[in-house]
């Protein structure tokens, strides 16, 4: 079988995991679950099998030092350094242009947690087989609730053929409101779009050129004028600045005739809120989870996480306390979705 090249997208920065996540310590580089960072988890998930090549990491200037520090020093890896963020369509195109046409890329965001690494690999193999046949394949995450924070994928008919391992995509749906999300779950056939894809490099570039010719051309120019520095590749800065910022969903997936999806029950979480972090962490019999110095008395479903000061909690249920860099955040499962609205989270 063909090898799979992991393309690890390592950019952006959110505010919903404030005060832990900040500009200087963005989400992929935090040990949010277990003792590895989400970026290290992603690397580990895409290695350890002979059919994975070394990864291509696409990141921004601000994060290169963190990437280099956490990326093993093997020669088989490559780091593409974007002069600025231009969203996922451009990031994936950069990687595709650095690969042979028939290479199969596995696009992996590095700010997600996947509990079941083995299942991930199985799904990746199925997706890669479809990608090798010219499909643009999305992982379809099995929904466990009417989430309004993700895009949805409505699946179409089963794909007949040798590599048969998935469905055609009937359509991609942008983040729905609550009522629509509920109707999706009631209707069935919908999964979450977790932003994990498998593409043949050539197919991706063909489809990008078909649907976003200017974007594709701008990325080509940026790559043609780029320079290598060790394992780093730096696209041409001026050309890159002219690239339009679009997501791969919007630029390609929603338009291509060749969109497919493979169902992925892989224990996926986007770790988008402190509530999601709590759910992904080990918890004791009372549902409590502790990092850093802490004492919990008569508590249930309490998560505390401190970078130093002791946190003492008495008599509470469903509370999340995070102490970091002199900031104290106290919220609960429902409230954690609004943490990004805090002044502190926006740097005030």
Note whether 91 binds a copy of itself by CB under 8 A.
no
Stretch that binds a copy of itself, among 43-51, 153-161, 231-239, 311-319 (CB under 8 A): 311-319
CA atoms of 292 and 156, how far apart (whole Å): 47
Q: Is 303 in the site for a copy of itself (CB under 8 A)?
A: no
* CA distance linking residue 136 with residue 133, whole number of Å: 9
Establish if 73 lies at the interface with a copy of itself (CB under 8 A). Answer: no
3-state secondary structure 96-152: HHCCCCCCEEEEEECCCEECCHHHHHHHHHHHHHHHHCCCEEEEEECCCCCCCCCCE
Looking at 279, 295, 300, 301, which residue binds a copy of itself (CB under 8 A)?
A: 295
* Region near a copy of itself per CB under 8 A, out of 96-104, 116-124, 157-165, 307-315: 307-315
Taking the complex as a whole, the smallest distance from the CB of residue 327 to a copy of itself amounts, in Å, to 6
- Where does 128-281 show beta strands of DSSP type E? 136-141, 152-158, 167-173, 190-200, 227-229, 232-234, 259-264, 268-269
With CB under 8 A as the contact rule, which of the stretches 2-10, 34-42, 61-69, 304-312 interacts with a copy of itself? 304-312
Of 25, 115, 163, 342, which one interacts with a copy of itself (CB under 8 A)?
342
Which residue, 16 or 126, is less far from a copy of itself as judged by CB? 16
By CB under 8 A, is residue 329 in contact with a copy of itself?
A: yes
- Which residue in 268, 330, 346, 347 binds a copy of itself (CB under 8 A)? 330
The tokens for 73 are 């020093």
Among positions 12-71, residues that touch a copy of itself (CB under 8 A) are 19
Residue among 38, 11, 9 nearest 96 (CA): 9
Q: How many CB atoms lie within 10 A of CB 294?
A: 21
Q: CA geometry: angle at 187 spanning 261 and 337, to 5°?
A: 75
Residues found near a copy of itself in the complex (CB under 8 A): 19, 295, 297-298, 306, 308-316, 319, 321, 323, 326-332, 334-336, 338-339, 341-344
């Amino acid at each position: 079988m063909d090898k799979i090249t992991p393309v690890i997208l390592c950019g952006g920065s959110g505010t919903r995991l404030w005060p832990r996540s900040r500009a200087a310590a963005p989400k992929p580089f935090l040990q949010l679950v277990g003792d590895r960072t989400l970026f290290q988890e992603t690397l580990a998930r895409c290695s350890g099998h002979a059919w994975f090549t070394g990864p291509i990491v696409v990141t921004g200037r601000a994060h290169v030092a963190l990437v280099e520090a956490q990326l093993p020093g093997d020669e088989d890896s490559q780091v593409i350094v974007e002069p600025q963020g231009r969203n996922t369509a451009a990031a994936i195109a950069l990687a595709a242009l650095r690969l042979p046409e028939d290479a199969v890329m596995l696009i992996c965001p590095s700010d997600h947690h996947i509990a079941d690494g083995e299942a991930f690999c199985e799904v990746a193999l199925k997706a890669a087989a479809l990608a090798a046949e010219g499909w643009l394949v999305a992982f379809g995450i099995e929904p466990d609730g009417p989430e309004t924070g993700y895009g949805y994928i409505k699946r179409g008919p089963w794909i007949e053929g040798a590599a048969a391992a998935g469905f055609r995509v009937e359509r991609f749906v942008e983040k729905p409101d609550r009522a629509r999300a509920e109707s999706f779950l009631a209707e069935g056939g919908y999964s979450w779009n977790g932003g994990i894809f498998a593409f043949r490099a050539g197919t991706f570039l063909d489809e990008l050129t078909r649907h976003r010719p200017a974007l594709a051309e701008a990325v080509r120019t940026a790559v043609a004028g780029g320079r290598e520095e060790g394992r780093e590749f730096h696209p041409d800065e001026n050309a890159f600045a002219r690239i339009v910022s679009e997501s791969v969903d919007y630029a390609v997936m929603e338009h291509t005739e060749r969109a497919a999806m493979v169902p992925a029950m892989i224990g996926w979480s986007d770790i988008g809120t402190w509530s999601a972090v709590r759910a992904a962490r080990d918890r004791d019999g009372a549902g409590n989870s502790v990092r850093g110095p802490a004492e919990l008395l008569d508590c249930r479903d309490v998560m505390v996480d401190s970078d130093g000061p002791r946190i003492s909690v008495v008599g509470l249920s469903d509370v999340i306390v995070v102490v970091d860099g002199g900031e104290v955040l106290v919220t609960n499962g429902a409230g954690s979705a609004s943490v990004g609205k805090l002044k502190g989270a926006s740097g005030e």
